[in-house]
């Protein structure tokens, strides 16, 4: 139960926000700003890299949309740093509660246990739904980030990929889709509706600029994973429970892909 001054989480309890919390226009502006900050620094870095490469006669692909995977990873990190700073600064102002009341606090053992259980639930939701969809559609599409792995050549590049997948991406995506979007939706909709809608946005974000067929084969399983993450956050009331679930889920997949060549 959340009110103006206290935060005492209980499983699937109603979330009571201050009247002035989550003004819809401010939420929309924050979401747009999040998208802009996610895009502009990374593209600015890639543009600067192309100029540098041309000045120093470094080979570049004819199609610059296929620039090397390692440069794409670095560009992501360049965007993630200001994005985290922006979200931590703006979230208390539009929610009208402290960061600790949003779950950004020191996790307890209970919080971490919920995160581990959430990992199992998310893995089952994504893997079982992916398998069912593959059996029906006879397609085995991969998320773009997974496809990048084949272009990574050495331990440093693989290590940076693992760092982005298991640390940076979970922190940024949980701040965006759970602490911002899911919380804002709970002000205006039942918890289940907020979980489903934020999950759909989470799945869709992973297939932007990909073939339309992947809206089913990739986005739908990840949307179900996003719904699990919303319930992890609702049950624990702790941002780090979600980061634990998200990071462990990504970590399992990285290990499976790199060491066991899973498909």
Helices (H), 56-100: 69-95
| 10 pLDDT more than 50 | no
What is the spatial distance between Cα 97 and Cα 106, in angstroms, rounded to a whole number? 17
Residue 182 pLDDT: 96
What's the predicted TM-score (pTM) here?
0.89
H or E element, residue 242: helix 239-259
**Tokens standing for residue 54:** 């041309």
Alpha-carbon distance of 251 to 253, in angstroms, equals 5
Give the C-alpha distances (Å, rounded to integers) separating 213 from 65, 73, 76, 172: 20, 25, 25, 26
DSSP secondary structure letter of residue 106: P
Quick: pLDDT tens for 20-71: 999 999 999 999 999 999 999 999 999 999 999 889 888 877 665 567 888 8
Give the pLDDT confidence score for residue 3 in this predicted structure: 42
Inform me whether the pLDDT recorded for 9 exceeds 50: no
Domain boundaries, the chain: 24-259
Above pLDDT 90, what percent of the chain?
63
Nearest to 258 by CA among 131, 164, 159, 170: 159
The arithmetic mean of pLDDT across residues 182-206, rounded, is 94
pLDDT digit string, tens, across residues 117-154: 999 999 999 999 988 988 888 777 666 666 677 777 78
Kindly state the average pLDDT of the residues 250-261.
Answer: 84
Which pLDDT score is estimated for 141? 65
Q: State the Cα angle at 113 between 220 and 192, rounded to 5°.
A: 40
Q: How far is CA 127 from the centre of its chain?
A: 18
pLDDT at 5 > cutoff 60: no
CA 143 to chain centre: 13
Q: How buried is 77 (Cβ within 10 angstroms: 0-12 exposed, 13-18 middle, 19+ buried)?
A: middle
């Amino acid at each position: 139960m959340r009110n103006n001054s206290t935060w005492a989480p209980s499983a699937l309890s109603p979330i009571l926000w201050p009247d002035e919390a989550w003004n819809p226009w401010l939420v929309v502006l924050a979401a747009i700003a999040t998208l802009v900050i996610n895009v502009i620094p990374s593209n600015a870095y890639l543009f600067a890299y192309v100029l540098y490469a041309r000045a120093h006669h470094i080979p570049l692909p004819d199609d610059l949309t296929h620039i090397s995977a390692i440069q794409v990873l670095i560009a992501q990190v360049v965007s993630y740093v200001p994005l985290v700073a922006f979200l931590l600064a703006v979230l208390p102002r539009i929610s009208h509660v402290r960061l600790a009341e949003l779950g950004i606090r020191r996790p307890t053992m209970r919080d971490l246990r919920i995160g581990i259980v959430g990992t199992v639930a998310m893995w089952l939701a994504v893997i079982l739904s992916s398998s069912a969809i593959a059996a029906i559609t006879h397609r085995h599409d991969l998320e773009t980030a997974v496809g990048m792995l084949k272009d990574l050549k050495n331990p440093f590049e693989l290590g940076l990929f693992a760092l982005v997948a298991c640390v940076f991406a979970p922190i940024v995506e949980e701040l965006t889709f759970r602490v911002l979007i899911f919380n804002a939706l709970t002000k205006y909709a039942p918890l289940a509706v907020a979980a489903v809608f934020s999950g759909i946005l989470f799945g869709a974000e992973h297939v932007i600029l990909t073939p339309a067929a992947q809206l089913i084969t990739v986005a739908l399983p990840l949307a179900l994973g996003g719904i699990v993450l919303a319930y992890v956050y609702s049950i624990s009331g702790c941002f780090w429970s979600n980061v634990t679930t998200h990071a462990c889920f990504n970590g399992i997949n990285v290990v499976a892909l790199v060491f066991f060549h899973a498909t």
